[in-house]
A and B are shown apart, each in its own frame.
Chain A
C-alpha cells in the first residue's frame, strides 16, 4: 500500500476508548472514518460509509473473523468487509477505502486515505 499524499496523522482518540473487537466513528478531514480494534490490539481504519446500504454505519457493525481474516459485517445488510483491505469478502469487486492508522503512546492516529 502506498500513501498517495503525505498526510499528517491526526489523533482521534485513545486506544482504550475503543473496546476490543468493536469500532468507533471518527471525523477525519471531513470524512467519516470507522476505526476498529481487534482482540490483539491491532487497529484498522475504513471509510464508515457502507457502499451497499448508502449510509455511514460500518463502525457499528459486528467485528469477527472469516478464516484468519478480520472483518466487519455491515449493520445494515450484513455484507462483510475485510478490515485490512476494505474488500467485500462476498464480492471482491466492491470495497471501501482504507486509511493509514497507527497507535502512538496510546493515541490512535489516522493518516491519509490509501489508494
Chain B
C-alpha cells in the first residue's frame, strides 16, 4: 500500500490497556496498513499499574512496559506527557492541550479511570492524596517521611493496598470504611471480619461503618467551619467522623473510595455514555460514533464498566481485531479476584454473595488460624457457583475454573475447602476448555498444547502462552497442569545433568558434600555411568572447587576443566587466549596501568576495556601465558578469573570520595566485596556492583548482586543480569549495615552456589525456587532453614583458602609442562594462529583449513616430513 493510502489510528491514553491495544495491533498486523499515534497524559510510557505498590521496592523502571520509551515498530509513534483535550467526531480530529490538531481515521479511547474523591470538606488540603499513578506514590512517599499517622479512606481492594503501602512506609495506618465490612464488593461479612482481624494483628487500625464528615487542617483541629473549607490551604491534621465526638489525628490522607471512568472527552464530543459513567460501547467496543472505539476502564460495554485489567485486555484485542475486519466480540468478563493484601490471601470468584436463586452455602472457618472459606453451590448440589476465600486461597486456581467451566462437583465438595486440600485439589481433572489463566484467557487445553509444542516447564509455558504472567494467581495451577500432563504422557521432567549423572547439579552438590569426595573418579564410580563429558566434568570441577578450594589445575581434576579454566585464560576464536588481571572495583594506579600497557606491548596483545571496568588483553599464545602472568604477578596483579564460572567483578561508581551526590564509599565497598568473593566457583559467572547513591551510576541492579548506598546504609538487590534476557535485580533487604550486608551476601551466594542448576544465573535460579524472591528472603534473612551459620562458615572457608591461581601455576613446574604449543616441538608456535591488523592493533586471521608448517628441523630424534598438501582441506 502506498504511503498516502495508509490510514491513521489515534489512541488516547497510554495506560495498561492502551499499551495492550498497540501491541495487539502490531502483532495482528494492523500496522501494515495503519500508522498509530498514541497520546499519553502521564510523563512516562505505560507501566504495570496492577503492581503499582511495588514501585516503592523496585522503582519506576521495573514497572515499565516500554522502558526504551518507543515501540520497535516504526509505524507507531508514542507521545507521552501529552493530553488530548477535545475530539471533533465530525471532522475526525483530536486537539491537544497546546492547540495542535491531528486527524484520525479511527480513534481509540483508552483513558482509564480516575480515583473518586468524595466532596468532603478539606479534601483539597495538603497531604491529601489518591493512589493511581507513580507520581501519586512519589508524593505519598515524600509525605510519609514526616508523617506520623495516616488514614486511608476506603476499605476496598485498592484501599487496603494503599494502607499496606502506608504501613510499609512506617506510618501508623488507619483504614476508614463506610460499609460495615472491608472489601464489601468481594467478600461477605464473615470473610470481611477474618480479614479485619488479620489486618489488626499487623498493627493497623480498622474503622468500619464510619463516615468521614470533614478533614481538618493543621491550625484548627476542633472547630471546622465548613464555609471556609475552600480557602484552607494548610495540611491535614485530623479526620472528623459523623456521630463520633473525638477526631482522629492524622498527618496524611489517601482517598481510595472507588474509581470513575474518564469519559469527559467523550461526553463533550457528544458520544453516548452509560448510565453510571463510561463510554457506552457495543460488543465490538465501538461507541455511538462508528470511528470511535473505547477500551479499558473508560469503556462500558453494554453499559457496565470493568475495573480490572483482564477485561480491558480483552477489549483491546477485540478492537485490534475489529479494525482488521474481524468479528471478535467482548461479552462480559469474569470478575474473580485473588490477591495478597497485607500478607493475607483473599479471593472471590463467581457468585461470591450467593445471589443465585435457592443456592446453598458451604463454609469453613478457623478463627485461630484466620481462615475463612465459603463455597456457593447450586440448589441440587451439582455445580459450583462461586465462593470467597480469606487467609488461605490456595484452592482458587482450581475453584475459579470449576465455576467458569460449569463442570460437575465431586461427591464431597467440602473437601475442596478443608485445610488439607492443596492448590491442586487432589484428583480433580478440569475439562480442557476450563480457563486457567483469566488475565490472559488461557485454557487447560492450550497449556497442554504448549507442552506438546515443546515447552519443557511451567516457566516455558508462561513465556509462550502468557498464562501466569499478569497477576500470577494461576501460577500454581499452571505448574500442576504441566506436571500432570508430563506424568500422563509417561514423560518425566528430566532434570539429569547429562547421560552420566541422573541428578541435578544441586543434588550432586549434596552428594559430594555428604560423602566428602575429592575427585571426579570417585564421584562417577559411585554415582554415575561412563566417563563423563563436557557437561558434567566442568560441573563437578566447579562443585569440587567450591567445597575444597583446591587449585583447578591440581593433577587429578585438571582433566575436568573447560579449556578456559584449564589454561586460566579465555580461549578466543583462533585458538589464542585473552588475559584479564583483577582490578578490584575498577580502581587502578597509574603504575598499574603502565604495567598492563607494557605487557601488552611486549607480547603484542590487543587491548580493550571491558564492561566490568578492567582491561582485557587478547591474542596471547598458550605457551606465552606463564610469562605474561609472571610479569603481571611481579607487578602485584593476580588472576581476574575472567575465564571461570566464578566471581568476575564488582563494578563501582566513584562514590562519596569524589562525587558530589555520593552518600557512601562505593569504591571501598566494591573492593572489599570483590576481594572477599574472588575465586568463588559458582554455577555460572557472577557479577556485582556498588553505587554510591540512588543515581545508580554503577548499574548495580544489572548484576547478580547489586548494592546501592542509602543515607542509612546499603540496599542489597539480587538476581540482576544483562545479556540476552536482561533482568533487574530485586530488593532483598534495605538500609543494611556493612556487617549485615556481608553476612546476607555470604549466605545468598553460598545458597546459590549450592542449589542452583548448572549454567543457571541468579535471576533464573530465584525464579525457579518455590516462592521465588520471598523464599530467598526467608532463607537468607529470616534463616528459616537454620542454614545461616553453615553458609557463612562455608564462605569463610573460601575466603581463608583463597590463593592466586596464576601465581601458583608459575611456581609449579609440573603445571607449567602443559603450556607448550607442541609436546614434541615446544619452540614452534602454532602456525594456525596468525594475526592481521585493524585500527592499529592485532586481530585474528581466521583459517579455512589447518595450516601446514614447512619442513623444520626438530633435532636428530624427531624427523619431520614434508607437508602433505593434497591432504589439507
Interface positions of A (Cβ within 8 A of B): 7-8, 10-13, 17, 19-22, 24-32, 35, 38-39, 47-49, 53-57, 60-68, 70-71, 73, 75-76, 78, 80, 97, 113
Contacts and interface: CB of A to CB of B under 8 A. Distances in A.
10 contacts: A8-B863, A19-B555, A27-B853, A54-B848, A56-B830, A57-B571, A60-B566, A64-B530, A64-B532, A70-B531
Given A27-B822, A30-B865, A57-B571, 16 more contacts: A21-B559, A25-B822, A27-B821, A30-B852, A32-B850, A54-B573, A60-B567, A62-B534, A62-B537, A62-B538, A64-B534, A65-B533, A71-B533, A75-B562, A75-B571, A80-B534
A65 B850 contact: no
Contacts of A60: 563, 566-567, 571
A47 B850 contact: yes
The 7 closest A-B pairs by CB, nearest first: A29-B865, A73-B534, A64-B533, A75-B563, A49-B850, A56-B832, A55-B575
Contacts of B849: 49, 54
A54 to B, nearest CB: 5
Contacts of A8: 863
Contacts of A68: 530
B562 A97 contact: no
B846 interface: yes
Interface string B851-868: 111111010011111111
A80 B562 CA distance: 14
Interface of B: 499-500, 530-534, 536-538, 555, 558-563, 566-567, 571, 573-575, 817-818, 821-825, 828, 830-833, 846-856, 858, 861-868, 871
Nearest to A4: B871
B861 to A, nearest CB: 8
A27 B864 contact: yes
A35 B824 CA distance: 12
Contacts of B571: 57, 60, 75-76
A24 to B, nearest CB: 5
A22 B537 CA distance: 12
A54 B854 CA distance: 20
Nearest to A55: B575
A32 B832 contact: yes
Contacts of A54: 573-574, 846-849
Contacts of A70: 531
A64 to B, nearest CB: 4
Contacts of B866: 29-30
A70 to B, nearest CB: 7
B815 to A, nearest CB: 11
B519 to A, nearest CB: 12
B850 A48 contact: yes
Contacts, number: 149
Contacts of A61: 534, 563
A71 B537 CA distance: 13
Contact of A97 (B563, B574, B871): B871
Contacts of B531: 21, 38-39, 63-65, 70
A97 B558 CA distance: 26
Contacts of B559: 19-22, 62-63
Contact of B828 (A27, A53, A75): A27
Contacts of A53: 573
B552 to A, nearest CB: 13
Contact of A29 (B537, B574, B861, B867): B867
A49 B825 contact: no
The residue among B534, B561, B566, B866 with the most chain A CB atoms within 10 A of its own CB is: B534
Nearest to A37: B559
A19 to B, nearest CB: 6
Contacts of B561: 62
B338 to A, nearest CB: 45
Contacts of B567: 60
Contact of A11 (B574, B854, B862, B864): B862
Contact of A24 (B532, B538, B823, B865): B823
B855 A30 contact: yes
A65 B567 CA distance: 23
The residue among A25, A70, A76 with the most chain B CB atoms within 10 A of its own CB is: A25
B175 to A, nearest CB: 59
Contacts of A11: 861-862
Nearest to B853: A30
Contacts of B499: 66-67
Nearest to B822: A27
A68 B563 CA distance: 24
A12 to B, nearest CB: 4
Contact of A73 (B530, B533, B574, B825): B533
B533 A62 contact: yes
Contacts of A7: 865
Nearest to A60: B563
A81 B574 CA distance: 19
A27 B562 contact: no
B532 A32 contact: no
B850 A10 contact: no
B823 A12 contact: yes
B824 A56 contact: no
Contacts of A57: 563, 571, 575
A54 B847 CA distance: 6
B530 A65 contact: yes
B407 to A, nearest CB: 47
Nearest to B499: A66
The residue among A10, A17, A20, A71 with the most chain B CB atoms within 10 A of its own CB is: A10
A10 B862 contact: yes
Contact of A30 (B532, B562, B854): B854
B823 A25 contact: yes
Contacts of A80: 533-534
A70 B821 CA distance: 24
Contacts of A13: 823-824
A35 B575 CA distance: 17
The residue among B818, B823, B867 with the most chain A CB atoms within 10 A of its own CB is: B823
Nearest to A25: B822
Nearest to B576: A55
Nearest to A47: B850
Contact of A32 (B536, B537, B822): B822
B209 to A, nearest CB: 69
A100 B499 CA distance: 30
B865 A56 contact: no
A30 B867 contact: yes
Contacts of B854: 30
A76 B570 CA distance: 10
B719 to A, nearest CB: 27
Contacts of B846: 54-55
A25 B853 CA distance: 14
Contacts of B818: 24
A76 B838 CA distance: 23
Contact of B532 (A10, A17, A20, A65): A65
A19 B832 contact: no
A55 B846 CA distance: 8
A38 B831 CA distance: 27
B517 to A, nearest CB: 17
A4 B853 CA distance: 21
B873 to A, nearest CB: 8
B850 A29 contact: no
Contacts of B832: 32, 49, 55-56
Contacts of B824: 12-13, 26-28
A49 B558 CA distance: 22
A46 B560 CA distance: 20
Contacts of B575: 55-57
B830 A29 contact: no
B538 A67 contact: no
B354 to A, nearest CB: 62
A32 B830 contact: yes
A55 B562 contact: no
A17 B823 contact: yes
A68 B866 CA distance: 37
A114 B532 CA distance: 27
A76 B821 CA distance: 17
